Structures are given as C-alpha cells and as structure tokens.
Structure 1
Amino acid sequence: SMGDGAEIAVIEGDLAEEEPFTFRLRLEDGYRIKPHIHPAYERGTILQGTLHFAHGEAFDADNTTALPEGSTFIMPPGAPMYGYAEGEVIFQLHGTGPWGIEYLDPEHDPRQ
C-alpha cells in the first residue's frame, strides 16, 4: 500500500483485524508519502532520520514540519496528511485496527 521505496515490518497484531497493532516503516531518502487518510487514530515515533509531515489535501513540501529522531506524532482518523523522508527514515506506528490507507488521488495508490 506504500509502493517502492517503503518497507513495512509488523511487530504485533493483524492489521486487518479490530485489535492493537504495532509496525515499523522504513522509507528511502526522498520518499514521498502522497496525501491520504486513515480510518482510525495512529500514533508514531521517529526512530531514525527526519520525517517531514503535514496535514492537508495537496502535497506541499514547503508546508511540512520536520520531525527528527525521537519525535512523536498523532494522526487522527479521516484527516488528510502527507510527507517525505529526509535521509533513510524509520518510524513506528501503533493503534487499533483494522489499519488502512486511502489515497486522496486514486492514481497515487500503488495497489492500482
């Protein structure tokens, strides 16, 4: 669901079920997270690198906030968001499933 340049490692939970989950994402330097929404709250911690993150419906790199290693963030359900990786970025997400991602522009969805 993230496409080339991103890898996921599930630590706990079944992402398709209504249960707690924890997973890590690794993003290549320069990877762009296209505008999208999630169905439930997610909480994240940056473990490595800097994630530039913003809420909004259109990708605007100049409107992001730099989240360096050790930063935390909360993503509310249904709130459009996007970002990009500066350096190799690893961050951990946790919440309660089912987990999902819906791209605002269906053409951005690598599952298509």
Structure 2
Amino acid sequence: MAWAPGPPSLPPGAEFVLLEGNPAEAVPLTFRLRFPANYRIPPHFHSVIEHVTVLSGTLNVGMGEQATYTGGTALNAVSFAAMPAKMVHSAWAGPEGVTFQLHSVGPWSITYVNAADDPRTKRPAGNR
C-alpha cells in the first residue's frame, strides 16, 4: 500500500490509501486513514453510513454539533463503529495516533457543521 496525503476534505496531517472503489461513484468503498497524535476533525456528517474498524491506536468519537475533544467514545485497536448517514460527530486521535479502515458506499462526502472548519475553504485554490 502506498500512503498519500489525506483528501482535501480533511485537515492537513492525515494520510490516506484507497483500497476499493471510487469515492466519486455510487460503488462500495474501502479506504484506510492514518492520523497523527491528537489529530482532530471538527463536527461533521456524511451523506452515507460509515463503518469504521480501528487497526491500531485510538480513535475518539464525540456526537453532536459542539466538539469538546474530551470524553466521547474511545475506539481502540480492533474496535468497530457504524455511524448512520447525517449523524453529526467529531473525531480525534489519541496521543499515539490512529490507523483505521473505513467501509462505505459512494459517492463519499463530508459536510462540516461550521463552514469555517472546512479545510477546503482554507487551502489555496490549486489544492482543493
């Protein structure tokens, strides 16, 4: 597997590898994400269900439109979670970082509750 910088829809620092499918098409998707220590994704939702399996480290998930980045549910290695479409949540890596696999169906999208949190609006136009 060849890891690449995460998609522009995620804050800088994530790494990504697509294993199956095309995120722009209505097909099954499998991809892996790797987040560094204490990496954060502000409150957001997806248009489709997401199935997450943690491979190493800890992925913390909090529900709701306000992120505190404390508490929430800690998903450790071999943990599984399913988040229904449009469920607002935030996510953050533990102090050791996290690698996880995500299964879903395209087209894949992420919508931030607060548009100012969307990294696509913070990057130079050539990197969107």
TM-score range, shorter chain: over 0.9
- Equivalent residue of 2:70, what SS? helix
Greater relative CO, 1 or 2 (CA 8 Å, sep 6+): 1
Instruction: Tell me which of 15, 23, 36 is aligned to 2:31.
Output: 23
CA positional deviation for 1:88: 1.7
Whole-Å Cα distance in 1 between the matches of residues 118 and 83 of structure 2?
A: 19
- 1:30 aligns to what SS in structure 2? coil
Structure 2 CA distance for aligned equivalents of residues 30 and 63 of structure 1: 14
- Unpaired runs of 5+ residues, structure 2, are 1-8, 122-128
- SS of the residue aligned with 1:111? helix
Deviations, residues 62-96 of structure 1 (Å, cap 9, x unaligned): 33111110100001111100021011200100111
Instruction: Specify which of 70, 77, 80 is matched with residue 69 of structure 1.
Output: 77
Deviations 1:9-37 (A, max 9, x none): 11010000000000001001010111000
Which residue of structure 1 lines up, in the alignment, with residue 115 of structure 2?
Answer: 106
Q: Which AA in structure 2 matches 1:100?
A: S
Moved over 2 A (4+): none
Which structure has the larger Rg? Answer: 2
Please give the secondary structure, in 1, of the residue aligned with 2:116.
helix
Q: Secondary structure at the match of 2:81?
A: strand
What letter corresponds to residue 92 of structure 1 in structure 2? Q
Q: Which residue of structure 2 lines up, in the alignment, with residue 58 of structure 1?
A: 66
CA distance in 2, matches of 1:100, 1:68: 25
1:92 aligns with 2:101: yes
Length-normalised TM-score, structure 2: 0.84
Give the strand-richer structure, 1 or 2: 1
Q: Percent identity?
A: 43
Aligned length: 112
Q: Which residue identity is paired with 1:24?
A: R
TM-score between the two structures when normalised by the length of structure 1 = 0.96
